[in-house]
């Protein structure tokens, strides 16, 4: 697998196919139609995550670091990676700019992730993950990233629409938007995805969120911070999450609302009611929650694409998020651990 998408400079008025565009590649252990992937993820502001480790950070003198890993990050790319890890099939749609963008494409090719790159003028960002081995603390340092021109945003939408026309079951829009894109960018994505007959799963924050919810999406996943930005007050437990989820459903913002509550678990709400999903006890020390959200969305989407009901799919999502907390920084979770934790997720129906 590798890049099989449309690319070219951001100045182009039409996208130029790469040599592998006409080839159909198969996901690892997944299923999907020959005309397109079952899951397409969207990452408008990806990054290369440089993960270093030190024994202990010192305030004076040099800190000698060891390179732990170098990998491509960004919400949608992480989701695609984890979908494949769980046996599904996914293609990652993303921007790429400058020398860092070239390296990003190369790393994805080497990792075997099926992806679609759209070139932009500005440089793709690099992020630093610093892991302190003595304390088991992780520090994720993330710059804002590139600024996209209006025409680059429009071109991304046009190329995305051509790929959505291949009828993926689900499109996952995850992560922040780069500077320069309008606040209604995800709302436009929602309209185009709906028009193509696919379902949009949204996991984002910031100014783009209200406009997207006003347009309406199939499923919206938010954490406590995002939930509080929508409600204007702390969301500390299941009752707070239920108030938010009810509002999202009754206003048509989402057909399914999932609010995650950290160590408590998550609340999954549909037209049939609300279900509390209580997080399983961790079989080890939590090391980082940096990849928990993306891991959950990946598991949830993978099971929905396999026609599983939302509550059951969400239960695997809660288990997978727990498994992700057992790994330092943004390193991948253990799929077997995630599956073993699934049976320990307690559910409670609340009407």
Q: Which amino acids are annotated catalytic?
A: 294
State how far the alpha carbon of 296 is from the alpha carbons of 36, 152, 174, 302, 325, in Å: 23, 30, 12, 10, 11
- What is d(CA 238, CA 255) in angstroms, rounded to the nearest whole number? 19
Measured in degrees and rounded to the nearest 5, phi and psi for residue 167 equal 65, 55
């Amino acid at each position: 697998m590798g890049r099989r998408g449309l690319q070219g400079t951001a100045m182009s008025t039409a996208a130029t196919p790469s040599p592998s565009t006409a080839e159909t590649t198969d996901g690892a252990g997944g299923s999907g139609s020959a005309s397109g992937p079952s899951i397409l993820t969207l990452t408008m502001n990806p990054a290369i995550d440089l993960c270093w480790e030190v024994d202990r950070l010192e305030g004076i003198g040099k800190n000698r670091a060891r390179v732990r890993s170098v990998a491509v990050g960004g919400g949608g790319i992480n989701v695609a990676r984890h979908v494949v890890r769980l046996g599904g099939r996914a293609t990652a749609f993303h921007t790429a700019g400058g020398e860092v963008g070239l390296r990003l494409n190369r790393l994805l090719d080497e990792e075997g992730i099926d992806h679609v790159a759209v070139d932009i003028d500005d440089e793709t960002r690099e992020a630093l993950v610093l892991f302190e081995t003595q304390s088991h603390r992780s520090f994720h340092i993330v710059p804002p990233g590139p600024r996209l021109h209006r025409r680059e945003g429009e071109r991304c939408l046009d190329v995305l629409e051509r790929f959505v026309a291949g009828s993926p079951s689900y499109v996952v829009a995850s992560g922040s938007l780069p500077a320069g894109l309008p606040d209604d960018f995800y709302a436009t994505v929602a309209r185009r995805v709906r028009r193509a007959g696919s379902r949009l799963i949204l996991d984002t924050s910031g100014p783009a969120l209200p406009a997207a919810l006003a347009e309406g999406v199939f499923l919206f996943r938010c954490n406590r911070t995002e939930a509080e930005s929508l409600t204007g007050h702390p969301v500390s437990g299941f009752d707070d999450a239920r108030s938010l989820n009810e509002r999202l459903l009754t206003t048509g913002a989402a057909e399914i609302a999932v609010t995650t509550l950290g160590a408590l678990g998550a609340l999954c709400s549909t037209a049939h009611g609300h279900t509390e999903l209580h997080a399983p006890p961790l079989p080890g020390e939590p090391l980082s929650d940096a990849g928990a959200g993306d891991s959950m969305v990946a598991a949830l989407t993978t099971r929905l694409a396999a026609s599983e009901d939302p509550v059951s799919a969400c239960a695997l999502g809660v288990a997978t998020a727990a498994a992700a907390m057992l790994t330092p920084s943004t390193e991948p979770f253990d799929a077997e651990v995630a599956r073993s934790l699934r049976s320990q997720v307690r559910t409670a129906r609340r009407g």
